[in-house]
Every structure is written in C-alpha cells, then in structure tokens.
Amino acid sequence: MTPTNQAHQPHAPDEFGIEIKFSAHSDTPSRVFRVMTSLIESFQEIDGFLAGSIATGLKPSTLLEDIESGSIRVWLRNILESIDDDSLKSGEWKKIIGAYLVKAKRLMINWTDQRTTVTTEAEIGELRQELLDAAARTDVLRIPTYLPIPSNEVVRSIQLIADALKPLNENDSVSYLSSEPIIEFNTSFEVVPDALTDLLVREVISSEVPMILVIKRPDFLGDSKWEFRHDRRVFEARILDPEWLTEFRNGVEVIHPGDALRTVVRSTVRYGFDGEVVDSQHEIIKVSGVIHAIRPSQGHFFT
C-alpha cells in the first residue's frame, strides 16, 4: 500500500501498528529506523513461537499495510501461509488466528509494563499461561489440543522486544496499536539474557558418547566451535583435547572439510520446569583418529 499522510483506517482484529514518537532535531536519527526494523523482525519471529500453541506447521507471515508520517507509524497485518486444514474448524480461521497473534503480542508488551526485569521462573509461567489461554479462546481447533509455548521461546520473545528498544533516547516512546486501546512499550524493562535463561533451568544432565563427526568448518585459529555434520544435521562443538589440538596446529595432523573425526563428546543439556530443553552444549573431550574422505586423483582430466 502506498504511504500516505492521512490516519490509517480501520483497525481490523488481525492488524497491528507500531508508533515511534521522537524529539525533532535529536541526534543519531538512524536509531528510530533501527528500532522499527528490529521490532518488526522480532514480531515475525515471535509470531512463529505463538503459532505453535495452536498447531505445528502453522506458518504466520506479516504484510506491510501502511506507513504514516509525523511520528513514524507503521501498520502491519498478520496472515497465515500454511497449515493442515483438517485440524481446524470451518470458517474464517485465518483471520481468527491472525487476531490471536495481534492479541498475544499485546499481552507480552503489557506483561513487561508491570515490571522492570524478571527475577523468578514463576513470572515466566504466568505469561505462558496468559498466552495459552489466549490461544484456547480462538476455539479454532476441532480437537482442543492447544499447547503452552516452551519457556525458552517465551524468554527469547522477551529478549527480542527488550533488545529492539535499546537504541531509543530517553525522550523517545514506542506504542503498540491494535483494535484495542493503545499501550506503550516499557523502555525501562531490562533483562540479562544469561540470568534470565538460568531461571528456567530445573535439571542438568551430562553424558559422554563416542561419535564420528564429519568436518564441515574447522577452527584453524582460535578456540571457537567447530562445525560438523552428524546425521545430516549441523553439529557444533569445541575441541578440548589438548594433545590432538597441538598436533593439529603444528601440522602433524592434517585435515580437510569432508574428513571425519572419531571422538568422544560430552553433552550437557539443561532442562526447564516444563521438561523442554532450555539449551545444550557439546564439547569434544577426546579425538582418537581422523577418517579421511575420498578425494579425486591428481592429474586426471575430462577430455
């Protein structure tokens, strides 16, 4: 839709807006656009989390509806790209779920307005319950199997919103617009990502397992994670075997992408109060050998 200088009308339930008010002639003007871009991108990721409460495979997307001048005001619309229709009741379920996504984001923003940070897992549980209740009120599923959003995805959503607002000046403000009353983002809300994630951990389980890992991207210079392939999936891990690393860095052990390492991997998985994985870390504590990939013979060319 072509940007206009007139107020956007109307406010459909599946439509929402972001308004940033800023001081004229203030410095670092790019901050306003960075915040707007970050919020839009954050909401797109958050919508993916929210849609999981209703059905797996539900793929939300966001459309730009309008841009208004003055303060910067952007109007967007939630749409659904794909889902197994057999799990849904007949009717305009796309509009109903789109409205739910608008409502759920509003619940998150309102939740952060009640605090300056998060100190307990119970607070995350409170927000999860509010979001689950909102999903259930859509009443779009033939069988009401609505699921709570995993705690780590709720935490990720909170971090996305807080991080998006960081470039603002103290005189700037941001509002969330929808068919309901306007609410302002709490720009004083702050979180420490690691501390917030730690709140979710109920149990830690470690194990050591022999694994063969195909090298995708080695770390030739520092102590960063290597990127491997295992079971057709990307597998990242640091190598903590000092003897093998010394041989590798001194050129005694020569490897190339496509080669494989025979290893012992220590995996540490942290689980939340909901039984979901909060995060996991993999470390290679022993490298016992290299399996070299087959390579083309030298000197053979097509003629």
Where b means 16+ CB within 10 Å and e means fewer, 54-75 reads bbeebebebeeebbbeeebbbb
Pick the most confident of 69-73, 98-102, 195-199, 219-223. Answer: 98-102
Instruction: Tell me what the mean pLDDT of segment 157-185 comes to.
Output: 94
Domain boundaries in the chain?
A: 15-198, 201-291
Q: Percent helix, strand, coil in the chain (nearest 5)? A: 30, 30, 40
SS3 28: coil
pLDDT digits (tens, 9 = 90+) for 13-52: 999 999 999 888 888 889 999 999 999 999 999 999 999 9
- How far is Cα 257 from Cα 264, in angstroms, rounded to an integer? 19
**Total residue count of the chain as it appears in this document:** 303
- 238 bridge partner residues: 283
201-291 classified as CATH 3.30.1490: no
pLDDT of residue 59 exceeding 50, the answer is yes
- Name the band, by pLDDT with cuts 50, 70 and 90, for residue 193: confident
Phi, then psi, of 85 in degrees rounded to 5: -60, -25
| CA 41/CA 25 separation, integer angstroms | 27
Per-residue pLDDT band at 69 (split at 50, 70, 90): confident
**3-state SS of 144-196?**
CCCCCCCHHHHHHHHHHHHHHCCCCCCCCEEEEECCCCCEECCCCCCCCHHHH
pLDDT band for position 267 (cuts 50, 70, 90): very high
State the pLDDT at residue 83.
Answer: 64
The pLDDT tens digits of the residues spanning 83-118 come to 666 778 877 888 999 999 999 999 999 999 989 999
Q: How far apart are CA 132 and CA 103, in angstroms?
A: 12
| Per-residue pLDDT at 155 exceeds 60 | yes
Q: Which residues contact 220 (CB under 8 A, 6 or more apart)?
A: none
